[in-house]
Structure 1
Amino acid sequence: MRSSHPSASRPRLLAGLVVALAAGGCNVKAPEYVRPDLPEKESWRNAAQQPVSARTTIDPQWWRGFRSPDLDKYIATAIDDNADLRVMAARIEVASAGIDQASAAGKPTILAGAGLDVTSFTQPGLTRTSQQYSAAATLDWELDIWGKFAKGVEAQEAEVAATQADWRAGYLTLVSDVATAFFAIRRLDEQLAQQREAVRRNKSILSIYQTRYREGLVPRTTLLQQEAEVKALSQQELELKRVREITVNSLATLIGVPAGNLRIPEGALTRSVSLLEVPAGLPSDLLSRRPDIVAAEYRALTQVKLVGQARLAQLPSIGLTARGGTASAALSNLLKAWTFGLSPSVSLPMFDPSVKAQIKVSEAEMKLAEEQYRSVVIKAFEEVENALITLHSRKQQRKQLLDRLANLREVAKQSRVQVEAGVISQLDLMESERSIVAVEQEVLENYFQILTDTVLLYKALGGGWSATRVASNG
């Protein structure tokens, strides 16, 4: 009965130590996770004119709404081969391996070994040799009776979830960048076609001026001005070609192809990419859908768990050390005799100043993570609002541009009739048609902007990813 008395009194001793810690002002309670407070966001500006449905924005391949097989192909290649996305995937593996590292602290450590000791005695005319075989094992185990090590595992699990959200954010950014680069290439293709037509028209005008100059109907300055116009347009064509080549190289890098190796045949933006009609019903779960917000919230959860671990580290730790060994002069008798010892121990870390310092550090990092989460959310609100406002405005501008273009085409149509009737000259008709080309370029630019703004809206809303609820698991 006497031998069982110390173990029976140990729980009472530990309970007394916990009470003493609390009485001494030590906070040993692990905090519970609560989503950080945020400014209220009750409505979205222009939501009625340009809303997005939650059902549509969680479509994992929402970009297919642009109905461009080439775009689908490039995005699929980028998802498979993009270098930055692969780096993010590797970081998930690193973070996942950290779970095993964190859990290893609460598991027993076993060390085992064996040895051979050979001793030689030499005397005049006599040499004797003796040998001693030995084997030993040690087990060290700090019992996680307060859940200190479990908190570390939970913190690392939250970090893994944050890293996975980082990958999803990178995925969404990659898709957006590929789409924007592809749209830019197709816009440049169409601009080049328009520029070539503008050069052709202005060369025709120059030919008329040359004829009139020879006839003495126009001054030399008029001829020189038109020659300068043709040269300027040709220079702009060369610049468009340069920008296209650079943009193709940018797309090549995004899809994992060495710059210079990607060849994209020319096409037309307005004929190869359709405007995506965004359906009604703005989603209200932005905070749980955007991957960067989810990542920031998981990192806030990580710091909460680390605060709990730091506070629990003040509590007494109980360790068990077991040792066993054997020795024999004969290998066959080595395991016949075995010695064993067990040494429990209790340490009181509350008197260690580094433990107090770690609590302060972890609490400060928890506040930092909360503020970073708020910052990400506030920026997300701005991005969504700006995307809604911009897309709505671009579509209104498109209506006006199309009306202007229709008016100018009607003027050109009437001018052709007047040319046939001999009322105006061919030169007047060309000048009228040149103004049409300028507005057509504005219409093309507006078309491109609507496409890119639609991509930005889907990105701002976390397009492609469903809601994720960040919550404490213990």
Structure 2
Amino acid sequence: MKLKNAHLVTNLYGVATRRVLYLSFIVQPRPVRSAFTGSEIVQALSQSWRSGFGRGIRLAFYGTLCATLLSACFDVKVPTYKRPDTPEKTAYSKPVVTASETIQPDWWKQFHDPYLDSLVTKAINNNFEFKVLAARIQVAGAQIGEARAGALPTMDLGAGASFEKTTGQPFSKQFNLATQVNWDIDIWGAVEKGVQAQKAEFRATEWDWRAGYLKLVSDVSTTYFQILQFDDQIEQQKQTIATNQKILTIFEGMQNNGLVPKTQVLTQRAELNRLTRELLELRRSRDLADNALATLTGVPAGDFKVPDGHLQKRVQIPVVPQGLPSQLLARRPDLIAAEYRVLEAYDLVGQAKLAQLPTISLTGRGGSASLQLTDLLKSFTFSFLPSINIPILDPSVRAHVKTTEAQTTVVEQQYRATVMSAFEEVENALVNLDSHEKQRVELQQEVAHLSVVAAQIDAQLKEGVISQLEVFETERTLLAAQLALLANHQQLLSDTVTLYKALGGGWPTTTVQNVSKETLQ
């Protein structure tokens, strides 16, 4: 026998016994008086104990005692919460600093684009998936009250009337009134454990909301950057097509004069076909990005279009944080939500273990019946039925304990997986950002060098040293390099967004905190 739990259940048993004896005293009918003497209270308790009513109390008393001793044979120790162990991150690609040096609540405003700011505000107010996360907070808050209600008495009240007429007999009627009060006493704290578990779930849904906020802002920002990149790509693609059209005209003239074979003309026409196809694909991608941004902002797809713009002119690359927050695991909302769900699992295990202990139910019934409605309240009957339930003999209770313990293992592993994913996301964001910054330097130099070449080629053309064809070829090479630099600009913007998201980003605290306070009070 696991007698190590006997002291716990014995102490709680004493509390339960005192509650039952107290109730047995207050329900005895007696004249209304302002106070009772000590001897009168003792006498009343003795009479109740020896009466038929007292026999019911004694049965509950002895039954509870036996059940308590049986409960000592089972493990009813409530587990103490401990954060799941995870592999430690020994070093990051950047130095560690305080969170205030890396994270700002409105971090997207560092891109200095008022239109982006308006899109973020619109998405936060209108995105339906984000509203679902907010509604789940309300649901979790309501479930806290539902869990608390399990420790409160319940009362049912009913009234009825019957009318009967039998041949040869006078008309008869009867009125009745009945009520029942039932109270399952939470003597071991199982209901309270359920309340604590629900509070942990409530906190987890709060952090789900913050994670959703961070994801929504990130999605809006990256989609907006892609749209502006498509606009620049479409414009440069048009210039490339125009240049290649001029080259085709030159080839056709040369072919007419027998200077180049027809295959070279056909090759240039095929190049124009390819460039035109790519232009159509860019326009398609732009329309799809518009539809995606419309959905993010709560507007039907097709009813929203971002005005044409230039990415490099409209959006500035912000200064990237020079370090990483020292408390990364304490900032990321997905990690905090995952840990709250581990805490919830611990509380549910405790509730399941406490459910193995005996429970006491107090049921009071009262009613009245009369042939006349006016006499209904003149006579009233009342009964009090204490009862004890011993769930340790129910195999489903033990099975439920094992289920909750297994579920705890699941959420602990999920927490560890979330931590590892967080480390990977941060490192990937740092690697991408560092690589694209270095590529940007090379691309800027490439564009600068090709610009010098293009200027010299143009000067040579004016002097008649080279042909127009060489000028067009140089322009085409320069446009390709400029297009690569544009793509790099968009990558750096997206990398910055990804890094802020991986580091935990920022979010307004007022709305969700107000919801929390109103619910938990």
Shared fold by TM > 0.5?
yes
Range with bigger deviation, 7-16 or 164-173: 7-16
Q: CA 1:12–1:324 in 2, change beyond 3 Å: closer, same or farther?
A: closer
Matched, 1:189 2:231: yes
Determine if contact 1:52/1:279 at 8 Å carries over to the other structure: no
SS of match in other structure, 1:137: strand
Name the residue aligned to 1:42: 90
1: distance between equivalents of 2:425 and 2:303? Answer: 35
Matched, 1:115 2:182: no
Determine if contact 1:35/1:297 at 8 Å carries over to the other structure: yes
Determine if contact 2:103/2:500 at 8 Å carries over to the other structure: no
Name the residue aligned to 1:70: 115
Range with bigger deviation, 108-117 or 382-391: 108-117
Q: What's the TM-score once normalised by structure 1's chain length? A: 0.91
Q: CA 1:426–1:52 in 2, change beyond 3 Å: closer, same or farther?
A: farther
2: distance between equivalents of 1:348 and 1:13? Answer: 9
The counterpart of 1:339, out of the listed 365, 381, 389, is: 381
Determine if contact 2:67/2:390 at 8 Å carries over to the other structure: no
SS of match in other structure, 1:206: helix
Q: CA 1:319–1:169 in 2, change beyond 3 Å: closer, same or farther?
A: same
Instruction: Summarize the alignment of residues 411-430 of structure 1 with structure 2, pairs less than 5 Å apart.
Output: 411-430=453-472
Name the residue aligned to 1:32: 80
How high is the sequence identity, in percent, across the aligned residues? Answer: 47
Shift of 1:221: 2.7
2: distance between equivalents of 1:259 and 1:53? Answer: 42
Shift of 1:173: 1.6
Name the residue aligned to 1:439: 481
Range with bigger deviation, 112-121 or 256-265: 112-121
The counterpart of 2:348, out of the listed 306, 319, 323, is: 306
What CA deviation, in whole Å up to 9, does each residue of 1:377-433 have, x standing for no partner? 111111111111111111111111111111111222222232233332332222222
Report the residue type matching 1:377 in the other structure: V
2: distance between equivalents of 1:327 and 1:14? Answer: 36
What CA deviation, in whole Å up to 9, does each residue of 1:339-394 have, x standing for no partner? 22222222221121111111111111111111111111111111111111111111
Report the residue type matching 2:130 in the other structure: L
Name the residue aligned to 1:104: 149
Instruction: Summarize the alignment of residues 352-391 of structure 1 with structure 2, pairs less than 5 Å apart.
Output: 352-391=394-433
Shift of 1:306: 0.6
Name the residue aligned to 1:178: 220
Range with bigger deviation, 185-194 or 410-419: 410-419
Unaligned runs of 5+ in 1: none
Matched, 1:94 2:139: yes
Determine if contact 1:320/1:342 at 8 Å carries over to the other structure: yes
Name the residue aligned to 1:21: 71
What CA deviation, in whole Å up to 9, does each residue of 1:180-223 have, x standing for no partner? 11111110100011111111111222222333333333333333
Name the residue aligned to 2:202: 160
Determine if contact 1:58/1:465 at 8 Å carries over to the other structure: no
2: distance between equivalents of 1:41 and 1:444? Answer: 35
2: distance between equivalents of 1:231 and 1:334? Answer: 96
Report the residue type matching 2:85 in the other structure: D
Report the residue type matching 2:84 in the other structure: P
Kindly report structure 1 stretches of 4+ aligned residues shifted beyond 4 Å: 4-17, 465-468
Matched, 1:249 2:291: yes
Matched, 1:136 2:178: yes
Shift of 1:452: 0.9
Q: CA 1:57–1:107 in 2, change beyond 3 Å: closer, same or farther?
A: farther
Range with bigger deviation, 132-141 or 111-120: 111-120
Name the residue aligned to 1:286: 328
SS of match in other structure, 1:227: helix
SS of match in other structure, 1:318: strand
1: distance between equivalents of 2:243 and 2:330? Answer: 55
Superposed CA RMSD: 2.5
Name the residue aligned to 2:362: 320
Q: CA 1:118–1:216 in 2, change beyond 3 Å: closer, same or farther?
A: closer
SS of match in other structure, 1:344: strand
2: distance between equivalents of 1:9 and 1:117? Answer: 38
What CA deviation, in whole Å up to 9, does each residue of 1:79-123 have, x standing for no partner? 122222222223223222222222222211101111223344543
The counterpart of 1:348, out of the listed 390, 413, 424, is: 390
What CA deviation, in whole Å up to 9, does each residue of 1:113-163 have, x standing for no partner? 11223344543xxx5233332211110100111111111111112112222
Determine if contact 1:195/1:233 at 8 Å carries over to the other structure: yes
Report the residue type matching 1:30 in the other structure: V
Name the residue aligned to 1:209: 251
1: distance between equivalents of 2:390 and 2:305? Answer: 69
Q: CA 1:52–1:222 in 2, change beyond 3 Å: closer, same or farther?
A: farther
Range with bigger deviation, 281-290 or 35-44: 281-290
Range with bigger deviation, 328-337 or 170-179: 328-337
What CA deviation, in whole Å up to 9, does each residue of 1:294-314 have, x standing for no partner? 221111111111100000011
SS of match in other structure, 2:170: strand
Matched, 1:395 2:434: no
1: distance between equivalents of 2:160 and 2:247? Answer: 101
The counterpart of 1:448, out of the listed 490, 494, 499, is: 490
Q: CA 1:55–1:159 in 2, change beyond 3 Å: closer, same or farther?
A: same
Report the residue type matching 2:329 in the other structure: L
Matched, 1:265 2:307: yes
Determine if contact 1:116/1:132 at 8 Å carries over to the other structure: yes
SS of match in other structure, 1:128: coil
Determine if contact 1:53/1:279 at 8 Å carries over to the other structure: no
2: distance between equivalents of 1:224 and 1:133? Answer: 103
Determine if contact 2:324/2:503 at 8 Å carries over to the other structure: no
Would you say how many aligned residue pairs link Structure 1 and Structure 2?
461
Determine if contact 1:61/1:464 at 8 Å carries over to the other structure: yes
SS of match in other structure, 2:258: coil
> Taking CA–CA contacts closer than 8 Å with sequence separation of 6 or more, which of the two structures ends up with the larger relative contact order?
1
Matched, 1:463 2:508: no
